[in-house]
Amino acid sequence: MTYDIAIIGAGMAGASLAWSLGQRSGGRLRVALLEMEAQPGYHTTGRSAAFWVESYGGPGIVPLTRASRSFFDAPPAGFCDRPLLGPRDAVMLAPPDDADFHGGALAALAAEFDAGGVAYVPVDAAWLAASPLGPMLRPEWLTAGLLQPGCFDIDVAALHQGYLRGSVDWKPTLVRDAEVTGLTRRAGVWHVETRAGPIAATTIVNAAGAWGDGVAGLAGARPRGLLPLRRTMAVLALDPPVAADLPITMDAAERFYFKPESGRLWLSPHDETLDVPHDVRPDELDLATVIDRFEQAARARVVRLESSWAGLRTFAPDRLPVFGWDGAVDGLFWCAGQGGFGIQTAPAAGDLCAALLLDQAPALDPAPYSAKRFII
């Protein structure tokens, strides 16, 4: 069988696009999802501490984030059996060495929020001391901040599984352990060699994340300069235990952020270390560095490091996603470069790419994200 579309990559990008293609086509398309691992989303989607924060990713990403909100609030019937969002405020803190709201890191964030039309509330030392952050952090970290109300935790597993499940009368064909090893186009059809066997499709979609430029090379396309950046997460037990209503908290100077999860603290050094596409592991120095940073900021005592992991967040050079037709190689479409915002923008990004693939009118302007905007 020749598929209409073969999507290379079954993480959040590929899965949300496949689902959206089913919705926009009325279930008429034959879509294959090719996953290189036994478990879809193993490398990035499954390692995300995702949250929905309107400002995250900057002004260029805000339209995608906003357009995704209605899906998260009210997913289609049968998509999932539990809410996709759980309410949680976000707070950006002024660090002790840069606490000037009018000229420091906090002011720079406020200007970025203003550029994106993002709502926020400046908060002072009294507000911070009375918040769940008061008992956790030292006074020098509780001088000023920006509160973003209306943020949320995202149930990543429920979202991803809902996309993979498809709808009542349609679902994509998921092929596991199908690392792509060769791509050849003959007579308008792509012949895809995979470790699970050959696949034929009229169109292929490059949704391979950190492996995206490699897939492009197999197809004879120019790379887009995708940068796989390592992000580390430590899971800590604290004394006293983490408050359940603790906000997502970020150092405005981007040296760490943390959030509560099942009585533990998920803590990241906000690292972006250039790496290569592989099954990435946390670096011991990164873990030691962020724990030290937290201990310098915290009143709470770190009891133990319970676990840790790392994932690859892949960005284009301008940190905007790469969506659309290749422009030089026929039948090749890009859905890549979603960086750290791929979960919270998945509904809108999947729908946008599906519209472009089907030559339908997209709900958002695709021009800022065009795959043709640069070629490396």
Give the pLDDT of residue 116: 87
Where are the domain boundaries for CATH 3.30.9.10 in the chain? 90-149+228-315
Q: List the single range of 7-16, 48-57, 214-223, 345-354 with lowest mean pLDDT.
A: 48-57
Residue, of 103 and 283, whose pLDDT is higher: 283
Q: Which pLDDT band holds residue 319 (cuts at 50, 70, 90)?
A: very high
Q: What is the dihedral of CA 162, 163, 168, 169, to 10 degrees?
A: -170
Does residue 4 register a pLDDT over 70?
yes
Which pLDDT score is estimated for 44?
65
pLDDT in the model for residue 98: 73
Q: Say what the pLDDT of residue 132 is.
A: 97
Instruction: Locate CATH 3.50.50.60 in the chain.
Output: 2-79+155-226+317-369
Identify the pLDDT of residue 194: 98
Single-letter amino acid code for the residue at 330: D
Is residue 376 pLDDT above 70, yes or no?
A: no
User: Is the separation of the CB atoms in 243 and 206 below 8 Å?
Assistant: no
| Residue range 289-296: mean pLDDT, rounded | 96
Mean pLDDT, rounded, for 55-80? 94
Fold of the domain built from segment(s) 90-149+228-315: D-Amino Acid Oxidase; Chain A, domain 2 (3.30.9)
- Is residue 104 exposed (0-12), middle (13-18) or buried (19+ Cβ within 10 Å)? middle
The percentage of residues in the chain with a pLDDT greater than 70, rounded to a whole number, is: 97
Asked if the model's pLDDT at residue 50 lies above 90, the reply is no
In the chain, % of residues over pLDDT 90: 88
Separation between Cα atoms, residue 117 and residue 106, nearest integer Å: 16
Contacts of 288 (CB under 8 A, 6+ apart): none
Beta strands in the chain (DSSP E): 2-8, 31-34, 51-52, 85-87, 90-93, 121-124, 144-148, 152-154, 173-175, 180-186, 189-194, 199-206, 227-239, 248-251, 257-261, 264-268, 273-274, 301-315, 322-325, 332-336
pLDDT, average across residues 230-256: 95
What pTM value is reported for the model?
0.94
**Mean local confidence (pLDDT), 366-373:** 97
* Mean pLDDT of all residues in 31-56: 83
**pLDDT grade for 245, boundaries at 50, 70 and 90:** very high
For residue 321, say if its preceding peptide bond is cis, omega within 30 degrees of 0.
no
Closest Cα partner for 7 from 336, 347, 321?
336
> How confident is the model at residue 103, as a pLDDT?
58
Q: What pLDDT was estimated at residue 375? A: 77
234 alpha carbon, distance to own chain's centre: 18
Say which residue, 269 or 50, is predicted with more confidence.
269
Mean pLDDT of 13-31: 96
Would the pLDDT of 100 be above 90?
no
Q: Looking at the DSSP assignment, which residues form a beta bridge with residue 185?
A: 190
**φ, ψ for residue 190, nearest 5 deg:** -85, 130
In angstroms, the Cα distances linking 258 to 49, 92, 249, 284 are 10, 11, 5, 18
Q: Which CATH architecture has domain 2-79+155-226+317-369?
A: 3-Layer(bba) Sandwich (3.50)
Residues contacting residue 117 through CB under 8 Å, at least 6 positions apart: 62
Residue 306 and residue 230 in contact, taking contact as beta carbons nearer than 8 Å:
no
Residue-level pLDDT at 43: 66
The CA distance from 321 to 369, in Å, is 6
137 DSSP 8-state letter: B
- pLDDT at 1 (0 to 100): 82
Which residue has tokens 């009118």? 361
At CB < 8 A and 24+ separation, what contacts does 129-135 make? Answer: 131/91, 131/247, 132/243, 132/245, 132/246, 132/247, 133/91, 133/93, 133/246, 133/247, 133/249, 135/240, 135/243, 135/299, 135/300
Q: What is the mean pLDDT of residues 255-262?
A: 94
pLDDT for the residue 46: 58
Query: What local confidence, expressed as pLDDT, does residue 299 receive?
Result: 96
Please identify which residue in the block is written with the tokens 């940068």: 227
Does the pLDDT of residue 45 top 90, yes or no? no
Return the exposure string of 1-19: e unless at least 16 CB atoms fall within 10 Å of the residue's CB, then b: eebbbbbbbbbbbbbbbbb
Question: Among all chains, which residue has been given the structure tokens 């897939």?
Answer: 215
Residues 135, 240 contacting (CB under 8 angstroms): yes
Q: Work out the end-to-end distance of the chain between its first and last CA atoms, rounded to an integer number of angstroms.
A: 35
Count of other CB atoms within 10 angstroms of residue 188:
9
- How many CA atoms within 13 Å lie on the side-chain side of 44? 32
pLDDT tens per residue across span 152-188: 999 999 999 999 999 878 999 999 999 999 999 999 9
pLDDT at 99 over 70: no
